[in-house]
Structure 1
């Protein structure tokens, strides 16, 4: 079963002669519709991501035109594009060739002073030692066979004093999902590691980096995934493929309702303390900003 089958089953559209895309476009064109991705972006900005005015990809992690930025496991390329739009030299890698080709075309439309995209599993990285001033790896470490070796390779390519932005799923939400998410979510090529918070920090310091700050965020997406697995189970059938690629629009109706509700909540300034508390209680991700020694 794929996301199109899931959407048609949960909307009662299995016998609708229209294409799934046509049905989804009708849903998305409703005046009160809120796309989960748009809500997620608003939520992320409120959590300190994509701060255009200060050129911070995440609070405390600024990007300038003088930086050379490596985005490992770039996926759709949000971090790469943010950096490219600041005029930085960007290098991006992923194991999926189609993602690299798509991102190359998008980066070509930005003021990046140089752009390089590579299909790579990251061990080794096709990047010279001590050449990057910013290194980004978000939601990748949980997929790799040897996290310590992966981090050592990230450290190899960083310049003395380079900043690192590292994120992995938070263990609280991951362990809750083990009670109802399908088994494949915790098997290759999906999440084969759950990092407890102390363990994540120790991996970073054992690789030779100094932790500058820690944070967590993403209650919206954690609860979104709880709902997703529940409705997928209701529909029956096993999903196929890498979870990040499977969990794409069209989304089931209850997820659209959740996005609409959360979007209304976070538009209220009075809700900010509640959002911060929930982001700490049940975050999607734990984040570390770290620094490589000036001595290399």
Structure 2
């Protein structure tokens, strides 16, 4: 299937590329994944946009729920914003707090919490980020209500969950624990994800799906772990660290080579739509309570 899709886009008249020399240095899948994300509109320091359409300014207070390694929090710090960050893992919050303290003198708060509820005041944030968290939640509706409660009127939200195609594909190779609590217990169709956001009272401003690179990267990770006789019990992406399995490095090198081809970006965008890793919604809390939950905005 993928070869047929590539053949559709790749010009038949192009000469066969010369064989690549044997690599001298290893290729980091995380670095290639970061470059792939930047092509999708992430991490624009020049415009202050964490994702295109989601700008963070110095007068913002960003709440990062399920902060993980703190990518969103640290981006907001670089824009001069105040930050509040939470995670259920104590070590992640402590490590991120050290990094934040080293980079800013503005107010910040790190909390170890499962987010139900969060010990924060109503309307404490002007920007709310919750990425790759909702799929871990047994009851996502009250969790979304908490997110909405903590955004001030007019607050903007950046939300993401895994896309269903990539999740179903991984079910054939990932360990069973990857789809058990506290890992992925929800699979959101695009329709269900949008309904969750809108029924909570938010208005959707933008949607996108991307990350084919990471769907295949995770499959190669699971395959490598299985071949080595290891089972990480549902490892998540931020636990994939160097030294990387050779199969993952080979895939990262292939993707890197593809992206520099004349039609590389077009092929990437096609594959991102065909099999995305994540689906993203940017939404906004209305300035007034006149907007009633349940009204769908197309």
Q: Is the 8 A contact 1:240 1:246 kept in 2?
A: no
- Give the structure 2 partner of residue 216 of structure 1: 209
Gaps of 5+ in 1: 1-29
Q: What are the equivalent positions in structure 2 for 1:230-245 lying under 5 Å apart?
A: 230-240=223-233, 242-244=235-237
Q: Normalising to structure 1: TM-score of the pair? A: 0.86
Q: Is the 8 A contact 1:88 1:112 kept in 2?
A: no
- Give the structure 2 partner of residue 184 of structure 1: 177
Task: Give the drift of 1:246.
Answer: 4.5
Match of 1:139 among 112, 132, 138: 132
Match of 1:111 among 95, 104, 115: 104
Q: Is the 8 A contact 2:29 2:248 kept in 1?
A: yes
Q: Is the 8 A contact 2:176 2:234 kept in 1?
A: no
Residue 224 of structure 1 aligns to a residue whose secondary structure is: helix
- Give the structure 2 partner of residue 7 of structure 1: none
Match of 1:202 among 195, 200, 211: 195
- Give the structure 1 partner of residue 50 of structure 2: 57
Residue 46 of structure 2 aligns to a residue whose secondary structure is: helix
Match of 2:154 among 161, 164, 177: 161
Higher helix share: 1
- Give the structure 1 partner of residue 93 of structure 2: 100
Please give the alpha-carbon distance, in whole angstroms, between the structure 1 residues aligned to 2:262 and 2:183.
Answer: 36
Match of 2:82 among 89, 97, 100: 89
Q: Cα deviations across residues 91-140 of structure 1 (Å, max 9, x unaligned)?
A: 00001111111101111122362211000100111221012110000000
* 1:279/1:118 CA distance change after superposition, 3 Å: same
Q: What are the equivalent positions in structure 2 for 1:72-83 lying under 5 Å apart?
A: 72-83=65-76
Residue 76 of structure 1 aligns to a residue whose secondary structure is: coil
Q: Which gives a bigger RCO, structure 1 or 2 (Cα 8 Å, sep 6+)?
A: 1
Q: Is the 8 A contact 2:179 2:234 kept in 1?
A: no
Gaps of 5+ in 2: 1-22, 290-298
Q: Cα deviations across residues 4-59 of structure 1 (Å, max 9, x unaligned)?
A: xxxxxxxxxxxxxxxxxxxxxxxxxx743211111111111011110111110001
More deviation, 266-275/138-147: 266-275
Residue 130 of structure 1 aligns to a residue whose secondary structure is: coil
* Structure 1 runs (4+) greater than 4 angstroms displaced: none
> CA RMSD of the aligned region, Å?
1.5
